[in-house]
Structure 1
């Protein structure tokens, strides 16, 4: 149970902080409005008064994670700014257990999410791309960061390289067998930098 004292006023920010604490301790599968209510020592309808539904609570949690991204001190060059924003986005996801899985599938039109998206889109616009290319490149960067971070956060379960190495051989899957060594768990930083650069060079 939380350290919240009897008579303390419950507000949405407290609910979301508590939900993020639960996420970090137990993972995304353990997060629910009932679990948050139990942690706060209140009835479930008290939590739902502030966040309505679990889906809405997850949106607000995702927005809170993006609120941890610092948008100051960015490089002046547009391409460098995009890369740095992507790095900060990934670090924010990694700072919470199952952070990428939390954010995937949520589309909160909330202040922190919109602020980050505006900074990313602004950097891409400054690079001289047309509007459609900016929109699609922004999505490509976000989707890539989310997907790779999901894999990275699941690495304790079973790394992709380990899965493939046990399933492919030079005889049955020669192409996969040739590159499987480059999918080691320790290569995530390099793979991230390579992927972002590949997206930007092709935009």
Structure 2
């Protein structure tokens, strides 16, 4: 059976979900597809090109927000949609953060987000800084979410220290325990509000 580019991408996504980013190698992918590694390079010149294709697939539909939403809510919805898209794939945030994709889904997300930020009143010279501040917040938050989830699933070590462990550092110990009482959704929304409130103050909104 002839191997198509779409078959390679689908196989890579499946292997990513099963083994994680470290387990996604060209050799393992070729074996899972029943071909030699050289067959993959006919479609993707190297692993980086394959990761870019995965990132572009992750970004599919993320920019599809209601253009009638107020600019601030549009920006927030884009951030939420990006987070959910990254969470839908194992190590999704790590994949996206390691690529610099210049393909339609990714570029469209940036276009829609920059226009939303500009509509909130962010000066044109600062829209790039504002856009990447929001995007990097989402990426960092999801990397932490997925790392914590993986640690909880694969080890008996809890990421939240008990009071005895932080006895000499009571302030951070208390802060961590308050943090742990909130859901990932709550923590994400709090940080997103901080960013957007800061933008509001900067633009006088």
User: What TM-score does the superposition give when structure 1 sets the normalisation length?
Assistant: 0.87
Give the unaligned 5+ runs of structure 1: 1-5
Contact 2:65 2:78 (8 Å CA) reproduced:
no
> Cα 1:68–1:11, aligned 2, differ >3 Å: closer, same or farther?
farther
Asked if residue 192 in structure 1 is aligned to residue 188 in structure 2, the reply is yes
Contact 2:63 2:108 (8 Å CA) reproduced:
no
> Cα 1:161–1:184, aligned 2, differ >3 Å: closer, same or farther?
farther
Shift of 1:70: 5.3
Q: Measure, in 2, the Cα distance between the counterparts of 1:122 and 1:40.
A: 41
Shift of 1:185: 7.2
Shift of 1:116: 0.9
- Pairs aligned (count): 194
For residues 53-90 of structure 1, the C-alpha deviation after alignment (integer angstroms, 9 at most, x for no partner) is 11111111111101142514355200000000100000
- The correspondence of residues 1-203 of structure 1 with structure 2, limited to 5 A, is 6=1, 8=2, 10-69=3-62, 71-73=64-66, 75-156=68-149, 157-158=151-152, 161-163=159-161, 167-169=165-167, 172-184=168-180, 187-203=183-199
Q: Measure, in 2, the Cα distance between the counterparts of 1:163 and 1:11.
A: 49
Q: Identify the range of structure 1 (129-138 vs 92-101) with the bigger mean alpha-carbon deviation.
A: 129-138
